Amino acid sequence: MSMRQRRTPFSNLFCPTLIFGLCLSAASAFADGPQAVPSILAPASTPAYEIFGLSLFVLLITGTIFVTVGGLLAYALIKFRARGDDDMRQEPAQVYGSVQVELAWTVIPVLIVVVLFLTTARIIFAVQDAPKPKSALDVTVIGHQFWWEFRYPTLGIVTANELHIPVSSKWHPAPTYLKLLSADVDHSFWVPQLGGKTDLIPNHPNEMWLDPQSPGLYLGQCAQFCGVEHAKMLIRVYVDTPEQFEAWARNQQKPGVQDEAVAAGRQIFDTEACMNCHTVSGTVARGTFGPDLTHLMSRATIASGAVENTPDNLRAWIKDPDQFKPGALMPAMQLSDQQIDQLVAYLTTLH
Amino acid sequence: MADQTLPIPGTLEEAHRPARMLEWLHSWVVTVDHKKLGILYIVYSIFFLLVAGAEAMAIRIQLAIPHNHFVSPELYNELFTMHGTTMVFLVGMPILFGFANYLVPLMIGARDMAFPRLNAFSFWLTAFGGLMLYFSFIGGFGSYGMGNAPDVGWFAYAPLTAKAFSPGHSTDYWALSLIVSGFGTLGTAINIIATALCMRCKGMTLMRMPLFVWLLTVVSAMTLVTITPLTAAQVMLLIDRYLGGHFFDAQAGGSPIVWLHFFWIFGHPEVYVLVLPAFAIANEIIPVFSRKAIFGYPAMVAASVGIGFVSLTVWAHHMFTVGMTAVSNSFFVLSTMLVGIPTGIKIFNWLATLWGGKIRFATPMLFAVGFLFQFLIAGLTGIMLSVAPWDWQLHNSYFVIAHFHYVLVGAIVFCIFAAIYFWYPKATGRMMSETLGKWHFWIFLIGFHITFDTMHFLGILGMPRSIFTYEPDRGWNTLNMIISLGGFVQAIGVLIFAWNLIYSYFKGKEAGNDPWDAWTLEWSTPSPPPAYNFAVDPVVRSRRPLWDIKHPQDPDWKYER
């Protein structure tokens, strides 16, 4: 466990409440890194840790209330049930109320609320108003129907759907600060292992931060209904070691590969409608409506995580985007098979 | 037809037959009787309950396995939008107003509502609002050129509802039908308040009013406050769509956040508008079947009024992820947690009412007991969601879906079932079958817990709401399958209930005036009550007038505070 983890004010409560967490986690373990199930019980970044600790504390309190009140209810129902040999004409003693008793059970909830509120407020401020270190990386996230655009203003990188960020540690804190914008409707950025969600709302910039502690691939998806293909607006966050991240960034900063062997495909890209929506830096294609394709082949998936990025899937996608994602805003361009082959040949050179 | 004496076609007898049928229908259409209107409301809601239930089943079939193609994404979005809109506006509100209509005048010893014609007008507005919403399935024109229902979610977040993102008329149907049924709701709310304030019989002071009437009065007052911003927001939306307005258009200086505030200042109190009548039902049923007076009547009244006020200050807990400041977030955490205090008082008072009683587990009481446990859990998951940082994780996940279905089904629908079993004998003169009722209860209870308990885990494992399908490698497959199966178990329970309703109407045991040995005024009338309810205006001296009659040596008015 790193120091960042240990700083959470509730770490001393972990042991007694661990059992609650275990009961809850149907399929997830407390993995120390990324896992296939995007569970909020497997936090891997400080905001997620803070929330997890707080949630165990709240669970302990609400669990106690449930056992107490639920137990009393069950006891009353069993103890005071009408029995077969009761004389039902004989009514039980009528009690209309008791000021002392009622006062007591008003004061107890008030005290519980005070405790819950203070602990909650503390975590709200700890996460929301955390000071931003100088070493932080800035990324602008722009939500589109139905894909993610990622811009790294300090590195001059534009990419889509797969976010690369560096791993962070106590000795080399490298948190990533996301500035959240929207190009059309409301979306919400949610990668459960890395932190809570924050909405992307037009003309209302939001901010959130992540500092993942172990490298790997973290999964999430859009969490605010945004239209037909809301379900296929998936998020992949690659947490890279510093070396991996630097190598990735260096590659992304290069202009698009210019391979003369696939000139015919590039010609189609630059003369058909492709270039209106997509950018390949270093060429005339400068559209911004769709994802930047300069380094398309550096991504594992297309269509915002809907399918794997293979030449076959690319071909199928260009021929009929509705096949994977009915309602996606990319039109079927009615290209001939030969044109599609040439286009895919070009796209697969864009490493 | 052995007694047919004139076998000539076209005789009086024959000609009368369709006319009598028409007359009967006509009497329901033109009625201003609060009891008939109450029944109309309830039948209307039960019909839409079955419709929206069928929509839920389609949703659950689609989600039973990953990457399913049972419905298209477009249809799925229509289904969950219509399921939510229907359940809130065409089932929840009308059925509770139906009970209010039927019971409030009877309980306070009045001969009708304060404004009988407004009452009829309000019902028909609500009814036509609902029909207009469903007409969109055939009359709407959507982006695919065919019939198209609203598909923007029941919350309809701007700017997805703007012309640019929702072409066609489906969103217009949604906005217009909610405006129309909203006016109906306002009319009924005014009517209930006026009735409770002005029509009480001699001796019934406000502090002797049955809790049911108190709570419905609070609910009606809340409705007046909360339906107004919703209607205003719908009008603004239509101005944006057709008159070049920019209320919610970020590109022209408007703000989608404005919609969120307008919608949730309606939307959260709406939850209490729905749940307080459920409390009201529990307040009547639990004492009768525990054979005890309700514990702490003044505290129950105060808690209900308190919930009414506090619930108007909590709306932005639906907006913790919208990007408010830490101070605003903390404020809404506190206001939301405060609701837990009056709610807790209510649960304790119900517990104290049971304590020392002689509890009879007839079907209405079974449903009320189910309500107590499920509402306790719903309240506690509500506390979890009020913890803003945890809400950043849980918001818009299946945990939230589980939480509000625990409130809407586990608490409200259970109380509605309890109320139907409890007052059906009054309205029809016949008891519902206890055997079928118990089958209904246990099957529905088991289905409910299979479905909605499991949903909590799905949210914790990161599954967001409103998605038409999900990836097979996320570990959500088994849980989704279990949830879908539970949905079908519930459906079986509801079908047993529907059968019980029909069967008991014809074959049920004769009920008599007071089958449950209860204490409020409606049980002093014949079943079903005659037109204008009371031949002689009743006079009461306590909260339980029938107790006083049944126990002349030991009447309530000697002890009540």
SS (H, E, C) B75-88: HHHHHHHHHHHHHH
Tell me, what CATH number does B400's domain have?
A: 1.20.210.10
Out of A81, A109, A116, the one facing B359 most closely (by C-beta) is: A81
- Assigned domain for B6 exists: no
Which residue bears the tokens 């509120």? A117
CA B270 to chain centre: 10
Q: Is residue B410 one of the residues assigned to a domain?
A: yes
pLDDT(A25) > 70: no
> pLDDT for A81-110, tens place per residue?
998 877 777 889 899 998 899 998 899 999
Look at residue A238 and tell me whether its pLDDT is greater than 60. Answer: yes
Q: Is B328 on the interface with A (CB under 8 A)?
A: no
Asked if residues B108 and B21 have their Cβ atoms less than 8 Å apart, the reply is: no
Q: Which residues of A touch B381 (CB under 8 A)?
A: 62
Query: SS3 for chain A, per residue?
Result: CCHHHHCCCCHHHHHHHHHHHHHHCCCCCCCCCCCCCCCCCCCCCHHHHHHHHHHHHHHHHHHHHHHHHHHHHHHHHHHCECCCCCCCCCCCCCCCCCHHHHHHHHHHHHHHHHHHHHHHHHHHHHHHCCCCCCCCEEEEEEEECCEEEEEECCCCEEEECEEEEECCCCCCCCCEEEEEEECCCCEEECCCCCCCCEEEECCECEEEEECCCCCEEEEEECCCCCCCCHHHCEEEEEEECHHHHHHHHHHHHCCCCCCHHHHHHHHHHHHCCHHHHCECCCCCCECCCCCCCCCHHHCCEECCCCEECCHHHHHHHHHCHHHCCCCCCCCCCCCCHHHHHHHHHHHCCCC
Q: Which residues contact B242 (CB under 8 A, 6 or more apart)?
A: none
Which pLDDT belongs to residue B16? Answer: 59
* B72 has a chain A CB within 8 A of its CB: yes
The three-state secondary structure class of B429 is coil
Which residues in A lie closer than 8 A to residue B256 (C-beta atoms)?
Answer: 186, 201-204
Cβ distance B296 to A117 less than 8 Å, yes or no, reads no
Inter-chain contacts counted by CB atoms under 8 A, chains A and B: 289
Which member of B250, B297, B467 has the closest CB to residue A96?
B297
Q: Pick the residue of A203, A206, A207, A234 with the most B CBs within 10 A to test the interface with B by mutation.
A: A203
Stated pTM of the model: 0.92
Contact B293 A96 (CB under 8 A): yes
A51, A5 in Cβ contact below 8 A? Answer: no
Instruction: Quote the pLDDT of residue A23.
Output: 45
B515 within domain boundaries:
yes
Q: Which phi and psi (to 5°) does residue B287 adopt?
A: -60, -45
Mutation for testing the B interface, residue in A8, A23, A77 having most B CBs under 10 Å: A77
User: What is the reported pLDDT for B559?
Assistant: 81
Q: Kindly state whether A342 is in contact with chain B, defined as any CB-CB distance less than 8 angstroms.
A: no
Nearest to A134 by CA among A179, A195, A194, A177: A177
**Do B323 and A223 lie within an 8 Å CB cutoff?**
no
Summarize pLDDT for A122-174 with one digit per residue, the tens. Answer: 999 999 999 999 989 999 999 999 999 999 999 999 999 999 999 998 888 99
pLDDT score for A90: 86
d(CA A124, CA B391): 11
Q: Scanning the structure block, which residue is given the tokens 């400068």?
A: A286
Answer whether residue B371 is part of any domain.
Answer: yes
For position A21, what pLDDT does the model report?
47
**pLDDT tens sequence for chain B (561 residues):** 444 555 555 555 555 566 788 888 999 999 999 999 999 999 999 999 999 999 999 999 999 999 999 999 999 999 999 999 999 999 999 999 999 999 999 999 999 999 999 999 999 999 999 999 999 888 766 554 456 889 999 999 989 999 999 988 889 999 999 999 999 999 999 999 999 999 999 999 999 999 999 999 999 999 999 999 999 999 999 999 999 999 999 888 899 999 999 999 999 999 999 999 999 999 999 999 999 999 999 999 999 999 999 999 999 999 999 999 999 999 999 999 999 999 999 999 999 999 999 999 999 999 999 999 999 999 999 999 999 999 999 999 999 999 999 999 999 999 999 999 999 999 999 999 999 999 999 999 999 999 999 999 999 999 999 999 999 999 999 999 999 999 999 999 999 999 999 999 999 999 999 999 999 999 999 999 999 999 999 999 999 999 999 998 888 888 876
- B346 Rama class: left (phi>0) / alpha (psi -120 to 50) / beta: alpha
The distance of Cα B51 from the centroid of its chain, to the nearest Å, equals 15
Instruction: Indicate which of A117, A187, A219 best probes the interface with B, i.e. most B CBs within 10 Å of its own CB.
Output: A117
Report the Cα B441 to chain-centroid distance in Å. Answer: 18
What Å distances lie between residue A195 and A190, A216, B110, B208, B461, CA to CA? Answer: 7, 16, 58, 52, 13
Q: How far apart are CA B392 and CA A120, in angstroms?
A: 12
Residue with tokens 């811009």: A151
Q: Do A125 and B326 touch (CB under 8 A)?
A: yes
In chain A, the residue whose alpha carbon lies closest to the alpha carbon of B150 is A227
Show residues of chain A in contact with B158, CB under 8 Å: 186
C-alpha–C-alpha distance, residues A99 and A62, integer Å: 26
φ, ψ for residue B542 (rounded to 5)?
Answer: -155, -175
Q: Does residue B5 fall inside a structural domain?
A: no
Q: What per-residue confidence (pLDDT) applies to B141?
A: 65
- The region, left, alpha or beta by phi > 0 then psi within -120 to 50, assigned to residue B291 is left
**Number of domain units in chain B:** 1
**Contact: B388, A120; criterion CB under 8 Å:** yes
Name the phi and psi angles at A314, rounded to 5.
-60, -45
Note the pLDDT tens digit of each residue in A288-319. 999 999 999 999 999 999 999 999 999 999 99
Q: What is the pLDDT of residue A14?
A: 43
Q: Are B112 and B182 in contact (CB under 8 A)?
A: no
Quote the minimal CA–CA distance from B43 to chain A in Å.
33
- Across the interface, which of B340, B341, B464 has its CB nearest the CB of A190? B464
| Interface residue B258 vs chain A (CB under 8 A) | no
Residue of A129, A123, A3 lying closest to A57 (CA atoms): A123
Are the beta carbons of B240 and B246 closer than 8 angstroms? yes
Predicted pLDDT of residue A327: 87
Tell whether A203 is within 8 A of chain B (Cβ): yes
- Do A218 and A44 touch, CB atoms closer than 8 A? yes
Best A89, A186, A198, A324 member to test B by mutation, with max B CBs in 10 Å, is A186
Q: Which residues partner with A182 through β-bridges?
A: A143
Q: Which domains does chain A have, with CATH numbers?
A: 3-79+92-128 (no CATH), 137-243 (2.60.40.420), 260-347 (2.60.40.420)
* pLDDT surpasses 80 at A274: yes
CB within 8 Å of A226: residues ≥ 6 apart: A143, A145, A146, A184, A185, A186, A187, A233, B160
Q: What is the pLDDT averaged over residues A224-240?
A: 95
Is residue B441 one of the residues assigned to a domain? Answer: yes
Task: Report CB contact under 8 Å: B475, A37.
Answer: yes
Which chain A positions have a beta carbon within 8 Å of B330's beta carbon? 117, 120-121, 124-125
What integer pLDDT is reported at residue B553 of this predicted model? 87
Residue B434 structure tokens: 């206890």
For residue A154, how far is the Cα from the chain centroid? 23
d(CA B49, CA A272): 52
CB-CB: which of A47, A66, A224 is closest to B376?
A: A66
Question: Does position A3 have pLDDT exceeding 70, yes or no?
Answer: no
Helix H or strand E encompassing B237: helix B211-242
Chain A contact for B73, CB < 8 A?
yes
Residue B72 in any domain: the answer is: yes
- Do the domain assignments include residue B29? yes
Tell if the CB–CB gap between A327 and B396 is shorter than 8 Å.
no
ipTM of predicted complex: 0.91
The whole domain housing B131 covers 12-558
What part of A 79-118 touches B (C-beta under 8 Å)? 80-82, 86, 88, 91-98, 101-102, 105-106, 109-110, 112-113, 116-117
B391 interfacial to chain A (CB closer than 8 Å)? yes
pLDDT confidence of residue B146: 55
